[in-house]
Every structure is written in C-alpha cells, then in structure tokens.
Structure 1
C-alpha cells in the first residue's frame, strides 16, 4: 500500500485528490492537511509520497520542501501547481522535488503518477512547458561541467544513471541489469553523491547536459 499525504491550503483540492487516490486499491491517503501542518504530519505518519502545493498564502511550499528533505529517510515529494510556467518550479526541482503536477491533471492518470513516484520515478505533468526545463538547464550551466561530473561514475553507475533519467524505477532497472533492487538503490545513491544532486530530476538533467540521452519530453520522464 502506497501511503500518500496531500498538502494544500484549499480544502476542495485536498478533498478532490483524496477521493481520486483512495479509489485505487494500492493507494491510501493517510492525511490531507494545510501547509502549516505538513512537516509535523510527515514526522508522525511517515508517508511514502507527499503531494505538496508550491504556492500557499500562509506558508511557502518551497520552505516546506526544504524542511521535508532534512527529515531522515524523507518521503518522495512532488509539487502541485496551477500553472505549467510557475517560476518556482525550477527552484523546486533543484531543491529535491521528484517532479511536479498540475492541479488539473487527468484524474485517471493520477494514481499511475503516484505509483511512479513511489517506485522512484520522476513525473512532470503533460502540460509542463519546455521553458521550465530550459530554465533549469540555464541555471545548471553555471555548475561544474556535466561531462566532468559524469566521468566520476563507473560504467555500471553510468548505466544506472541513463535508466534513471529515462524514468525507470529501481525494480525496472534491476530487471534490465539483472541486479537486485537493493543493489540498484545503492548504485543510485552513489550516482547522486558523485553528481552532487539530491533527486532523479537533477540527475536526469545532468545526464542530458553530458550528452547521455535525448532532451527530456513533457510527461513522465
């Protein structure tokens, strides 16, 4: 069972996401709370996935994201937003978010996206504009050379990076490479450490900048 926490200051949004996700047999919304209760609720209930509104009137979603990333064994966090061009999205990706969803995401797709997040994948709503990704890449260009960073990886770690960037979950990577899920998880941790990143989105974009894969397309990556 995938345990999900929905964080949004609008009660209607919380109710909507809760209703949609609870119709799935393998997903349980353990709580749906406003922003001010997010960190405490995560510490108490230990959800697997948090869907976090990026813009709230009383508390900054990016600050909540930073605080959640500091919790030992933190949950996977995907940001919720109303606009695909939200200027805060690139900051969220750089801060460790596993992607972001528009609040008008097709209800039929939402359980699948949550499963992807829980399995270690990365999701970007299908309406995300290329401008968001380009904005991230522009900022990343000021960081150490992606090619130099990727050169730190072993051959196996580089293969794991490519599969990760293609959106495969750890179990799927294990099947492709004939490795246990635990071994893949160890390789992913090593890749993150050597690339100096904290999320699959960041790793995927470095892989792209290093020429290891084609530019990401909108949707699940």
Structure 2
C-alpha cells in the first residue's frame, strides 16, 4: 500500500507514516500515563509512560501497516483492580488513548491556521497527521472489543444486555479481525465506510482539509 502511495506522492506517504507513529505513540502513552495517575503502575514499570516510539510500536503491526494499510501498536497493560475511581477508572484509561488522538487533531488545526503551514510540504504533513489521528480517534471508539470504544461504552449498558456484552467480549476480536480482512481484500463489502464516516465531519469541524493534498 505505502509503496504505491510513495510512488504517487512521497511527501504524502512519509507524512501518513509520521501521523501513525505519532498517533500510536501518544495513544499508548496516554493509556499508560492515565493508568499510572489512577494507581496502576503496571505499564509504568514496563517503561510505557514515555513518548519514545520504540516502547509502543509493535514490529508485526508496523509491517502490516506498510503492507496492508492496517496496523497496531503494543497494547498497554492495565490492571483494572488497581485503578482508583471504581468503574470509571477503566473507562478513563480507555478513553485517554482516543482523546490523545483528538488532541493531535486540535494541534494540527492550530498549526494549519499559521501562514507557513498553508501550502507545500508543511500543509501535506499537517493534513496527513490530522487525517490519520482523526481516523485513529474514530476507529478506536468503535464498540467492538478489544477496541477502546467497548471499554468506554459497555460499562454503561443496562444489565439486561449482559449477555450481549459477554458475547462481544468473547467474540469481538474475531469479529473485528474478519471486518478488517474483508476491508483489505473485499473493500466493496466493507462496513468501515459507514463506521468511519465521522472522520470527515470531524476534520471539517476543526477547519482542516477533509483529504490529504498531493504534491
């Protein structure tokens, strides 16, 4: 995927990779830092409360990102029983990841308003980093385990849906994997076009380009 994109626009390809590195790093670091602040030092003891990308990037996930356009970082270890705040502790830690991606989008929006970032390579970089992090924000809030959205939403569902929650916790990862495989090999049948539809309105709400300029 990125080989083809690099052939079409090297600047856009590099900017997109930068967006994923920054986005994944801050996303996982936010999980680790919020867990530490709420009393769980598990990730802290593993050196995950850091902005060093090497601590958060997964080798296979990075390779898949280059090959298929879909990748992942190293999951941040969290022990819910150690967290303060009762049921809201795990929710706060889960939401911290997507929230960090949203903050990156906001930072890109501020840079985009500066004259220097209105054209050329700087414009491509800001637009690409913002787009990738808007994508990460929306994607991670999809309520399918193990994504953060499930950890944020499921605790607030009524007890009558406990069976559904148990089913999703057991089979959610498989469902997500199937959806990703379909999106890669049968894009015409993918549901991600619907699930990720908020990405463009989110960028527009921040006054950012809905796409990535190609030089």
Same fold by TM (over 0.5)?
no
Identify the TM-score tier after normalising by the shorter chain.
Answer: 0.3 to 0.5
TM-score for the superposition, normalised by structure 2:
0.34
TM-score (norm 1): 0.33
Higher strand share: 1
For the pair shown, the structure with the greater C-alpha radius of gyration is 2
Higher helix proportion, which one? 2
Higher relative contact order (CA 8 A, sep 6+): 2
